[in-house]
């Protein structure tokens, strides 16, 4: 059983146990509290975002670098993961170190700069970590499971209408950024967002489920200026099981 599967089983057992506990007393309340970080870890892959010393780390790809061929070529994945994603990890660590220095010395003259760096690189690190797990080979892509399809139909009028909205939102991002399917914990609805760079134009409380990188580095080697071709093609390598797991986890939080 994979780590993720065993975590899912644990969560199911925990929530069932919690129902029973509500009937007999309170000892299981702590189990509910304990379960929350596990759900967060599953959703954001926080076990991969940082090491045990609290330093951001570059997660391994969950597949070989040529696994996304022919939609995304091996060279693009290599540059994207090993250079671009790695630089967000380094940038987020540098920002954290300098903010620590500011707290230690009381010198906050550059706090605006380092907070901006943390928002940019930290958001870049999180979105890329989700992006890699959102993708898989064409052979394994499959389709949205019944629960995800039901949610997409309820909130967008159907899977095709959702796809059309996400494609158009991704293509029309001004400059560099992302198209994002997110779950909003306050409205309990799925929503499509555009994000410029990694951190602008977001909506507080939205939990990203499926993210499409439309920075040129994600597609330029193979697609050059044809962002639309890349965005349309990427739908044949979506890991729909991963998206469905994220929705499941997001609903447990919301």
Closest approach of Mn ion to the CB of residue 236, in Å:
19
Nearer to Mn ion, 162 or 215 (CB): 215
Whole-Å CA distances, 203 to 61, 162, 177, 188: 28, 19, 15, 14
Whole-Å CA distances, 157 to 142, 183, 190, 201: 20, 16, 12, 24
Nearer to Mn ion, 213 or 248 (CB): 213
Nearest Cα neighbor of 125 from 154, 168, 160, 86 is: 86
Per DSSP bridges, beta strands 189-196 and 206-213 are: unpaired
Nearest Cα neighbor of 162 from 89, 247, 223 is: 247
Nearer to Mn ion, 92 or 218 (CB): 218
Residue nearest to Mn ion (CB): 213
Binding interface with Mn ion (CB under 5 A): 213, 215, 218
Q: Which residues contact 63 (CB under 8 A, 6 or more apart)?
A: 136, 137
Measured between alpha carbons, how far is 95 from 64 in angstroms, rounded to an integer?
31
Closest approach of Mn ion to the CB of residue 24, in Å:
50
Measured between alpha carbons, how far is 192 from 168 in angstroms, rounded to an integer?
10
Nearer to Mn ion, 28 or 166 (CB): 166
Closest approach of Mn ion to the CB of residue 173, in Å:
12
Nearer to Mn ion, 126 or 152 (CB): 126
Nearer to Mn ion, 8 or 85 (CB): 85
Closest approach of Mn ion to the CB of residue 175, in Å:
13
From first CA to last CA, the distance across the chain in angstroms is 27
Closest approach of Mn ion to the CB of residue 127, in Å:
8
Closest approach of Mn ion to the CB of residue 170, in Å:
13
Nearer to Mn ion, 185 or 233 (CB): 233
Percentages (nearest 5) of helix, strand, coil residues in the chain: 60, 10, 25
Q: How many CB atoms sit inside 10 A of residue 238's CB?
A: 21
Closest approach of Mn ion to the CB of residue 30, in Å:
40
């Amino acid at each position: 059983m994979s780590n993720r599967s065993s975590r899912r089983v644990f969560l199911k057992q925990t929530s069932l146990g919690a129902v029973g506990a509500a009937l007999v007393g309170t000892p299981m309340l702590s189990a509910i509290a304990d379960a929350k970080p596990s759900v967060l870890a599953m959703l954001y892959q926080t076990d991969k975002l940082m090491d045990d010393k609290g330093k951001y780390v570059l997660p391994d790809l969950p597949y070989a670098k040529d696994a996304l061929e022919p939609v995304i070529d091996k060279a693009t994945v290599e540059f994207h993961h090993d250079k671009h994603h790695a630089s967000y990890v380094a940038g987020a660590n540098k920002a954290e170190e300098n903010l620590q220095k500011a707290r230690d010395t009381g010198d906050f003259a550059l706090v605006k700069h380092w907070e901006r760096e943390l928002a940019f690189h930290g958001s870049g690190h999180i979105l890329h970590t989700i992006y890699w797990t959102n993708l898989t080979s064409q052979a394994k892509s499959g389709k949205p499971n019944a629960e995800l399809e039901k949610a997409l139909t309820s909130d967008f009028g159907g899977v095709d209408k959702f796809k059309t909205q996400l494609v158009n939102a991704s293509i029309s991002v001004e400059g560099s950024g992302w198209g994002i399917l997110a779950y909003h914990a306050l409205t309990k609805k799925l929503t499509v967002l555009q994000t410029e760079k990694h951190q602008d134009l977001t909506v507080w409380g939205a939990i990203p489920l499926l993210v499409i990188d439309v920075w040129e580095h994600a597609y330029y080697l193979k697609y050059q200026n044809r962002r639309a071709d890349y965005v349309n093609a990427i739908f044949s390598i979506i890991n729909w099981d991963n998206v469905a797991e994220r929705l499941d986890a997001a609903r447990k939080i919301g």
